[in-house]
Structure 1
Amino acid sequence: MPIARPSRHRNRAAALALISTGIAASVVLTGLPAAHATPSSQAVVAEVYGGGGNSGATLTNDFVELANAGSAAYDLAGYSVQYLPGSPSAASKWQATALTGAIAPGGRYLVSESAGTGGTTPLPAADASGSIAMSGTSGTIALVNGTTPLTCITAADCAADPRVVDLVGFGTAVVREGSGPATGASNTASVARGASLADTDDNAADLTAGAPTPVNAAGQTPGGGGTDPTPDPEPTEPGTTRIHDIQGTTRVSPLKGQTVTRVPGIVTGVRTTGSKGYWIQDPEADADARTSEGVFVYTGSVTPTVAVGDKVLVTGKVSEYYPGTGSQSVTEVTAPTTAVLSAGNALPAPVTLDAATVPAAYAPDAAGGSIEGLPLDPARYALDFYEAHEGELARFSDARVVGGTTQYHEVWVTVKPDENPTRRGGTVYGSYDQPNTGRIKVMSIGAGADVPAADVGDRLAGTTTGAIDYDGFGGYNLQATQLGTLVDKGLEREVTRKQKGGELAVATYNVENLDPTDPADKFARLADGVVTHLSSPDIVALEEIQDDNGAADDGTVAAGQTLQKFTDAIVAAGGPRYSWRSVDPTDGTDGGEPGGNIRQVFLFNPHRVQFTDRAGGDATTAVKAVKTRKGAELSVSPGRINPGSEAWNASRKPLVGEFRFHGKPVFVIANHFNSKGGDQPLHSVNQQPVRSSETQRKLQATEVNTFVKSLLAADRDANVVVLGDLNDYEFSGTVSTLTSGGVLKDLLTTLPKSERYTYVYEGNSQSLDHILLSPALRRFDYDVVHINAEFADQASDHDPQIVRIKPDGC
């Protein structure tokens, strides 16, 4: 897997595919785990009303009412109530209102939210207040132990988040507890629990619709407290706060949590899908380069009615949105009230993004700590530069594409044409301290289809303009209002040469969760990759072969149907009839997509190479190196390396096989190391980011290194090929651990630095897949075959690679 992705904000379908982890993208609309005691012994969401101030409503505000069915006070310090739209996309985000105080035993607690334009009756004095504009008909409310916004957007993911204390989905909400959401919510009706506060974790059964009945901690009902909002005495005159005051000189607004009044600006962009809202920018900048003059005004589920060029005054609450764990934040004005003063105004001049303006250094090094409170230094660090222009208009010209257009209509470009270029047009990621500061993601502020299908090396000619935004899937990006013109450079998929008679061709290919339920086209394209582009290797180590029913979690572990379908496709593509060997995993123990049981598999051409079968290899038996008079051999073949080791917890175990080529034994070890899931992203608020997943990969590398040493102890001239998806870079501690003692050589390091990549992630061409050889294999010809990673249209997200070797005596 590449650098880890936190959840977040983007105009895309749910749950981004977790690259190389074996977890397929899916939205699982299932209920939360059953069930609390009835009634609940803890705090619950007792009533939800989102129709406040809407047409026909009596009450002026939305509200959430909590209750405590227990016999002791329930402390709410550090808690929040949070809201998610009823039909969230991956661009949707939770909004949070912080809570204080406690709920008395048997008591109530009232949280007021956004006011509408109608209604005549205020709520009783609220115990906590927020500015969330809830839907009157559909949404999800969560009581959360914490104030950081949740990132889950499916019922299953929210069920797995231990911070969620209680959750209510109403209307048609897909995130809900149990068999379905509570129904009947409207502008005049709330959904509420009965007097017993029954909580069986089934919203449809536990809550019913009726007239809203808000009650605060003091027992007051409407008419017993609360006041009408103070009218704005001068709605057309700017207040005293400017955008640069909101943005401040660090990553967090000095006005966070405060209401700002009549902030002036010009509308520079309007987003009507996903996370709706608009950007405003003050054309009268201050003299401090650290303070941005732009900010995003978040309107929630409400489509903005302003237009680009409108001169506006905005009143709302300043908030910091964190799109994922470890991410930086986006400064926003939420629950806005907007006054449009005039239309058709000239827009502020955009900042130019190029090699002269974007610094070479990426971020201040805080020894893994947070940079959130550090004063920005936009002349020195790229992350500080982008933060100092967050929300402002920016532009670049004639930029090279360094990451092909994704299925989510995003494309990565570089504004620095000379920064670590690959020979095919990308930008190579060559060390932890050089993340390539010229990369930026481009997304259309209009229809996603506006972003052209581009491959690495193509060019966006002319000018691209938009607001600088931030999300958890890549960090700073340009929300384009004007896209350059695509110039197709005609990147072609590579074809490697055919092996000669005395060469043993061994390849590795991650086929991305292949199972029989995949479309025939995927099998055909992967097969063409093996036959045409890899020229039908003698041995192919496959990663991410799933069991015979894919993600169905019913105990199936065999993968014979998957492999039969794939080898048939290879024959249909003009390739040989491959045989295969593998070891079925124990159900649910090897990580990857739940139910998928991914594993490594050897395909081999029996007319070119023989497999030495030795019985006894299974999911839990460790293969051993055996010393004989004729050299080393395996105790079982195929077998797995020390499968009981903690190094392989919830991860794939290496597959080891003994082959013979022209009578010479060759030992092949196929790997798929632990993913990078859980690592902080390059753009993390912690710098340098914490790469926690590397700990397990180093343990795995140690196990493989130890096994290779045992083979070499049995025969110092043993021919050993170690290959597969190591989920780490050639400069990583994982690879240095694997090669420790000189027992293996990573062939990626034999290539020029500009060619050391097998994968493209967030505009970085990087190495995840490797082939390594033991010292006896001195004669080799190695090739990374670029057919997927650089293209918008991919059969897999990995490029395969191949080595042609000549064992001594062949």
Structure 2
Amino acid sequence: MTKPTAANPRSRRSLLRAAVLPVGVAASLVLVPLPGAVAAPSADVLIAEVYGGGGNSGATLKNDFIELANKGGAAFGLDGFSVQYISGTPGANSQWSVTPLTGSVAPGARYLVAEAAGTGGTVALPTPDATGTLALSGTSGTVALVSGTAPLTCKTAADCAAEPRIRDLVGFGTAVVREGSGPAAGASNTDAVARAASLADTDDNAADFKAGAPTPVNGKGESTPGGDTGGGTGGGPTQPGTVRIHDIQGTTRVSPMVGKAVTGVPGVVTGTRSYGSKGFWIQDATPDADPATSEGLFVYTGSANPTVKAGDSVLVNGKVAEYYPNQAGGGQSITQLTGPVVTVLSSGNPLPAAVLLDDTTVPAGYAPDAAGGSIEGLALRPAEYALDAYEALEGMNVEVRDVPVVQATDEYHELWVDARSGDKRTKRGGVVYLGYENPNSGRVMVQSLAPEAEHPFPVANVGDQLTGSTSGPLDYNKFGGYTLVAGALGAVKDNGLKREVTDRALPSEVSIATYNVENLDPSDPADKFAQLATGIVTNLRSPDIITLEEIQDNNGAVNDGTVDADQTVAKFIEAIKAAGGPAYDWRSINPENGKDGGEPGGNIRTVFLFNPKRVSFTDIAGGDATTAVDVAGSGKWANLTASPGRIDPGNEAWASSRKPMVGQFAFHNKKIFVIANHFNSKGGDQGLDSRFQAPTRSSEVQRLKQAEVEHAFVSKLLAADPNARVVSLGDFNDYQFSPALKALTKDCVLHDLVNDLPEKERYSYVFQGNSQVLDHILVSSALTRHADYDVVHINSEFAVQASDHDPQVVRIKP
């Protein structure tokens, strides 16, 4: 499956937001690192906070504690791990003390280790996830997260840096053993040291940690013992405090109060969620006059279902946190309260009026430009930029009315609508993506607050209309950015979108198509093969030549070294025959095991199907996974040195990516060179809605190199025969305006046929509500005047899909 951004195969509904990432204040000083102990920067579990003043003079908490956090995307098992402690200046007889750990820490969650109690303090920790007896110093020492429970033996920064069992290490105060330029500063009887909001791990304790009031949070998201996380009185606040929601949200993307405890925050509950990231939204019924400060806030209840309900007027105590649903991908954060203690004052109150999302509230401008840097510190300008407008409404009750559906309902019970009438429409009712500078600012994902079993989500295709009012809190999630989580859903008006059927080729025309069949293997259900075959026979009119992308090996994602795909192809050919199509022949080249990317074990590759009654394939021996195809002869005698053959497969441009396959065909005794392509995916790119603007499209670098390699080969072929008939087609995983496609078409070596279509028809794929081009058919100049090109829309706009791509076909009079 090719996606413009990395996709997680697990249910997005269950991963809307995993457990919270409560954080401290971001470090304000970056120091030049000096030699120190270094445990490689962590992508998952690390030490988030250390407090050694528990029970000491002036302390409120009774116990020392160590808090871990998991910033990864999967649960991390801690069985067999330990946290260990040694004094700040260990001597010859100093030993590391050990607290063994058990259980696991959920993605995005915390794990609290309670350590020794002092004689003072008045407040107990929230229920810890592990308990030890380490007596940490309040001012200086070193804590390590260790794989194993045997005590460490290292006592210097250099020796600990070489210890492979250390997963993370924090030296504080005047600790000799620390990471980077120096230990974390400021630890005391009243102050802990904690990582910044992003949980950044730069291997420099001085830069990564800052002192502040201790804020212990356990694996359930609790920060105070016995707190009521969703309703009732439970010892909660009885009077409004001085802090309001707009004070917490502030005028930038990150709360000015992050990491701080707040009490008695008033609000009306606007929605509750008892699946995925559990909690509820509150909104202030008496907003301020600043349009940049949101009046809504999510209250995260950890593993507990919220017991409040919409319309409850509540007071909430909690800790302010920023949660990043897609931190690694550059996504925005969500300001929220964690470890809540809640008092319900009254029920049945009217919800605050929803803000209507339309042309008057969502600007055409999309995002401020920070030259690739973070926009988090910039003051929000909601009248100028859509991302600022959405952020200024984060957590608030919003509404869309009578809006077009611009991406069909998916398997996760989501769809996309467009709230701006000014966004560029496709011919069939979507919105078309025509340039990096115009991402269509009105696109919003819609989900439902109601579980699917209680209220089935509407099934809609692109071009349908979500009629009436759809309203609910405005959330943010890693798979779709800003999301209207609907408490009230409008009805779908079916506008009757039909799957297209291309024109029939004339006897004098050769028809050549491309189709990404989305990880096809023999274990796929017969219905998928039948649907794909119907697309070939009925909608594409049985093209003479078809390049297929994402054909997997004979046992699909089973990773056992199998690379043959003859069973996959044979099953597909039989399905085509059953649908009334021709008996296709085929050619392909098996990839090296595990070298072409895609689903692990799947060994995806491109395949030529061809109708031997209409065209012939010129077999030229010598093509394999590692041998580069070349050009021999000149003029009308120009030929490939191998057919099928791979274009420069050893070039580093094709690392972990599919290699283009070229084949030599003949139609009415006229030679046609066909190149099947599947360039590297967009995985790892920052999204359009990234907190970094302009977003970094890191995957473009490799595709540009791939395009340059293929351009050189086509140039060599055309140098041998300027009249060579070349068709290069497939899933290029990039846009017609991208650097890669510009490189492929440089000097008019190839012409991208999608640019001949009207703008409203330029798309083959829909992602995050944008109809866009990923698949292309390019031709050499000998064919530009005789090419009739069509993107056949049968998948991307529909809730029921055989593939996530639309096929394309060109009819050529060679």
Q: What is the TM-score with the length of structure 1 in the denominator?
A: 0.76
CA contact (8 A) 2:751 2:780 kept: yes
1:787 maps to amino acid: I
Structure 1 position 414 matched with structure 2 position 418: yes
Match of 2:451 in 1: 447
Cα distance in 1 between the residues matched to 2:86 and 2:368: 51
CA contact (8 A) 1:444 1:450 kept: no
CA contact (8 A) 2:67 2:111 kept: no
Secondary structure of the structure 2 residue equivalent to 1:706: helix
Cα distance in 2 between the residues matched to 1:85 and 1:68: 14
Match of 1:784 in 2: 791
**CA deviation after TM superposition for structure 1 residue 702, in Å:** 0.5
Q: Which runs of 5+ in 2 are unaligned?
A: 18-44, 48-61, 69-80, 91-98, 117-122, 139-143, 148-163, 169-222, 228-232
Match of 1:731 in 2: 737
Match of 2:25 in 1: none
Structure 1 position 95 matched with structure 2 position 106: no
Q: Deviations along 1:596-633, whole A, 9 cap, x unmatched? A: 11000000000000000001100000000112463311
CA contact (8 A) 1:114 1:335 kept: no
Secondary structure of the structure 1 residue equivalent to 2:444: strand
1:12 maps to amino acid: R
Cα distance in 2 between the residues matched to 1:122 and 1:312: 37
Structure 1 position 529 matched with structure 2 position 543: no
Cα distance in 2 between the residues matched to 1:563 and 1:227: 60
Structure 1 position 795 matched with structure 2 position 799: no
Secondary structure of the structure 2 residue equivalent to 1:531: helix
CA contact (8 A) 1:8 1:473 kept: no
**CA deviation after TM superposition for structure 1 residue 235, in Å:** 2.9
Match of 2:126 in 1: 115
Aligned positions of 1:316-715 closer than 5 A: 316-324=318-326, 325=328, 326-448=330-452, 450-628=456-634, 630-715=636-721
1:299 maps to amino acid: T
Match of 1:218 in 2: none
2:615 maps to amino acid: V
Match of 2:239 in 1: 237
Cα distance in 2 between the residues matched to 1:9 and 1:126: 41
Cα distance in 1 between the residues matched to 2:753 and 2:744: 13
Match of 2:277 in 1: 275
1:803 maps to amino acid: V
Cα distance in 2 between the residues matched to 1:497 and 1:163: 65
Rate the CA distance shift 1:680–1:84 in 2: closer, same or farther, 3 A: farther
Cα distance in 2 between the residues matched to 1:163 and 1:784: 55
CA contact (8 A) 1:6 1:323 kept: no
CA contact (8 A) 2:633 2:720 kept: yes
CA contact (8 A) 2:85 2:136 kept: no
CA contact (8 A) 2:127 2:225 kept: no
Rate the CA distance shift 1:5–1:546 in 2: closer, same or farther, 3 A: closer
Rate the CA distance shift 1:323–1:772 in 2: closer, same or farther, 3 A: same
Cα distance in 2 between the residues matched to 1:478 and 1:800: 32
Secondary structure of the structure 1 residue equivalent to 2:431: coil
Secondary structure of the structure 2 residue equivalent to 1:339: strand
**CA deviation after TM superposition for structure 1 residue 4, in Å:** 1.7
CA contact (8 A) 1:612 1:660 kept: yes
Cα distance in 2 between the residues matched to 1:163 and 1:260: 39
Cα distance in 2 between the residues matched to 1:564 and 1:122: 62
Rate the CA distance shift 1:63–1:790 in 2: closer, same or farther, 3 A: same
Structure 1 position 765 matched with structure 2 position 796: no
Q: Deviations along 1:266-297, whole A, 9 cap, x unmatched? A: 00000011100000000111111111000000
Rate the CA distance shift 1:87–1:497 in 2: closer, same or farther, 3 A: farther
**CA deviation after TM superposition for structure 1 residue 94, in Å:** 1.4
Match of 2:261 in 1: 259
CA contact (8 A) 1:2 1:768 kept: no
CA contact (8 A) 2:82 2:145 kept: no
Secondary structure of the structure 2 residue equivalent to 1:686: coil
**CA deviation after TM superposition for structure 1 residue 7, in Å:** 6.4
CA contact (8 A) 2:536 2:576 kept: yes
**CA deviation after TM superposition for structure 1 residue 741, in Å:** 1.2
1:243 maps to amino acid: I
CA contact (8 A) 1:278 1:296 kept: yes
Q: Deviations along 1:538-567, whole A, 9 cap, x unmatched? A: 000000000011111111111000000000
CA contact (8 A) 1:615 1:637 kept: yes
**CA deviation after TM superposition for structure 1 residue 451, in Å:** 1.9
Rate the CA distance shift 1:685–1:99 in 2: closer, same or farther, 3 A: farther
Q: Deviations along 1:248-279, whole A, 9 cap, x unmatched? A: 01000011001111100000000011100000
Secondary structure of the structure 2 residue equivalent to 1:450: coil
2:697 maps to amino acid: R
CA contact (8 A) 1:122 1:227 kept: no
**CA deviation after TM superposition for structure 1 residue 236, in Å:** 1.5
**CA deviation after TM superposition for structure 1 residue 6, in Å:** 7.2
Match of 1:302 in 2: 304
Match of 2:248 in 1: 246
Cα distance in 1 between the residues matched to 2:674 and 2:650: 21
**CA deviation after TM superposition for structure 1 residue 8, in Å:** 11
Cα distance in 2 between the residues matched to 1:518 and 1:539: 24
Cα distance in 2 between the residues matched to 1:469 and 1:753: 32
Rate the CA distance shift 1:620–1:515 in 2: closer, same or farther, 3 A: same
Cα distance in 1 between the residues matched to 2:377 and 2:346: 37
The one of 797, 800, 811 aligned to 1:804 = 811
Q: What is the TM-score with the length of structure 2 in the denominator?
A: 0.76
**CA deviation after TM superposition for structure 1 residue 481, in Å:** 0.2
**CA deviation after TM superposition for structure 1 residue 658, in Å:** 0.0
Secondary structure of the structure 1 residue equivalent to 2:701: helix
Moved more, 66-75 or 372-381: 66-75
CA RMSD of aligned residues (A): 3.5
Cα distance in 2 between the residues matched to 1:265 and 1:668: 64
Cα distance in 2 between the residues matched to 1:15 and 1:350: 23
Cα distance in 2 between the residues matched to 1:6 and 1:563: 26
Q: Which runs of 5+ in 1 are unaligned?
A: 17-42, 46-58, 76-80, 105-111, 129-141, 146-161, 167-225
1:660 maps to amino acid: A
**CA deviation after TM superposition for structure 1 residue 84, in Å:** 13
